[in-house]
Amino acid sequence: MSNSGKIEVLIPRSLCEIENADSLNVDDEDFASVFVAWEKGIVSELKPIKIQNKKPKKILFPRFVETHSHFDKSFTFREFPNFKSNYQEALSVNLEEHKIRTTKKVLERAEKSLNLAIKNGYRAIRSHIDTYESQDNNIWNELFNLQKKYSSKLKLQYVALASLEFWDTSHGKELAKKFSRGNGILGGVLVPPFNKAKIRYLVSKTLLLADKYKLEIDLHIDESNIEPGAGIKILLETIDRLDIKVPITCSHLSSILSLNDNEILKLGRKIAEKNIKVIALPLTNFWLLNRKDKSTSLHRPVAPIKQLQKSLVDVSIGSDNVQDPWYPFGNYDPFYLISLAMPMLQLSPWDRLTLSSLFLSPSRLLKLNWDGLVKKGCPADFVILDAEKWADIFSTNLKREVLINGALYS
């Protein structure tokens, strides 16, 4: 299959780096008209095109990066439904599912997820994997094999999502040691109500373990509508007390939305100072949190992305669950995510910071070789749409082609 080609397209201006930009035509929605050529999978030419009467009828994006998913439980909703649709019920159904979980089932769900993700336009995914003492020990070898199997099409990262107690057990310590060879990430949950003294102790233990094996941490933190910021405050205090530098991602950080703007900015500055990255997960937050049976409330705790960006926090937007007890919808489709997340969070697609949280921050978070900017010398890893404006992108009959290293994926 050919991995060379050329095309005239529209690209969001903030997602391309272009020489001779003086003659670049950029429309009201911030799409630039460009000519792109690639040879042997690498972009060899990127230049402005003159628009006489018509502009390109295709829009090009870099392939997407999913910062937060759970493919070990994807597509379990029918077998393990949660019709109460709240956090507590999701957790209890999730624990029921563990009782009959096998490595084979997890791998089947993972492959189904990965194939969809590649077809829909993702180039990298971080997935959390539920991790507990009674689990099949071999699961991690199988998951690392899967990572290799897909590596030419998609970069895969794993977070072992365990209770913080787990990282203080011999099983937990062994797994951390294994991860120091396989590049796994330590995960945990820090959601109130909790016993503060106990949580302080467990957060310290987890940080020290990560530091010992030079691992990253990714926490489900403050995914709640009570005790705003209780988890992040303990995390920041503990980092200061231990005077430790562990790369940390805070997934969710929803409850801090209830703090006032000044408090959020102050907290944001501390988060940025410690170089902690944040993932906003609007879909599950809007679905699960602050749900009331008999009344509709518009109060939805979700990471306050604009205030955090203003404090210079690197914020990504992720999808979270797909068709499981935590969220019954979704399909590993980045366009499903963006067409919901933008109106939910009042993010404009023509704003640089919006696209940054969808393309550039996620690439930094996963430490990918390519930062996601389309430029000469970058991989021809694209999603090309039959579209001329944002309204076409947020439509239900989107036609797309995915290019992986310059070759059409089919």
Report the interface residues with Zn ion, using CB under 5 A.
320
CA of residue 99 relative to chain centroid, distance: 28
CB of residue 392 to Zn ion, shortest distance in Å: 31
Q: Which residue is nearest to Zn ion (CB)?
A: 320
Least separation, in Å, of the C-beta of 41 and Zn ion?
A: 33
Is the peptide bond between 193 and the residue preceding it cis, with omega within 30 degrees of 0? yes
Report the alpha-carbon distance of residue 201 to residue 279 in Å, rounded. Answer: 25
In the sheet with 277-280, reading across from the earlier edge strand, the strands are 64-69, 122-130, 155-161, 185-190, 217-221, 248-252, 277-280, 315-317
Q: Which amino acid is at 402?
A: V
Q: Which residue's CB is nearer to Zn ion, number 11 or number 281?
A: 281
| Min dist. Cβ of residue 159 to Zn ion (A) | 9
Nearer to Zn ion, 222 or 320 (CB): 320
Nearer to Zn ion, 130 or 320 (CB): 320
Give the residue from 236, 315, 308, 235 showing the smallest Cα distance to 279. Answer: 315
Query: Closest approach of Cβ 220 to Zn ion, in Å?
Result: 6
Toward Zn ion, which CB reaches closer, 256 or 387? 256
Nearer to Zn ion, 72 or 320 (CB): 320
Contact 179, 151 (CB under 8 A): no
Backbone torsions φ then ψ of 389, nearest 5 degrees: -155, 165
Closer residue to Zn ion in complex, CB, 121/318: 318
The distance of closest approach from Cβ of residue 254 to Zn ion in the complex, given in angstroms and rounded to an integer, is 11
β 407-408/400-404 pair status: antiparallel
- Please, what is the minimum distance in Å from the beta carbon of residue 8 to Zn ion? 40
Which phi-psi region, left, alpha or beta, contains residue 124 (left: φ > 0; alpha: ψ -120 to 50)? beta
